[in-house]
């Protein structure tokens, strides 16, 4: 559910939506969401002063209240 939201949101912002991929790494206490994007889109997804990624983190934090898991999100360029 969370990964689907992040992927859909990122494809709406990205200039190269076909390059968007989301990977989840489950841990004991938290789940890391890795958002892979084209190098040209990394800056767009992070936003000025981190405001765009901050907005995504805010929405994801609402899911923490529902299922009790902590989520961390990272944006990385496609290698």
Q: How many domains does the chain have?
A: 1
Q: Which pair of tokens denotes residue 72?
A: 């961390």
Mean pLDDT per 10-residue segment, the chain (79 residues): 88 92 88 92 90 88 75 87
Per-residue pLDDT at 1:
79
pLDDT for 21 equals 95
Q: What is the CATH number of the domain that holds 6?
A: 3.30.300.20
The three state secondary structure string of the chain is CHHHHHHHHHHHHCCCHHHCEEEEEECCCEEEEEEEECHHHHHHHHCHHHHHHHHHHHHHHHHHHHHCCEEEEEEEECC
Q: What is the pLDDT of residues 24-45, one digit of tens each?
A: 998 888 889 999 999 999 999 9
Domain that holds residue 48: 2-77
pLDDT of residue 63: 74
Q: What local confidence, expressed as pLDDT, does residue 15 receive?
A: 92
């Amino acid at each position: 559910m969370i990964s689907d939201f992040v992927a859909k949101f990122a494809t709406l912002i990205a200039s190269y939506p076909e390059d968007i991929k989301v990977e989840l790494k489950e841990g004991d206490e938290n789940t890391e969401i890795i958002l892979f994007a084209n190098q040209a889109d990394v800056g767009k997804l992070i936003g000025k002063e981190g405001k765009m990624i901050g907005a995504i983190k805010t929405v994801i934090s609402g899911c923490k209240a529902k299922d009790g898991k902590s989520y961390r999100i990272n944006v990385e360029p496609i290698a």
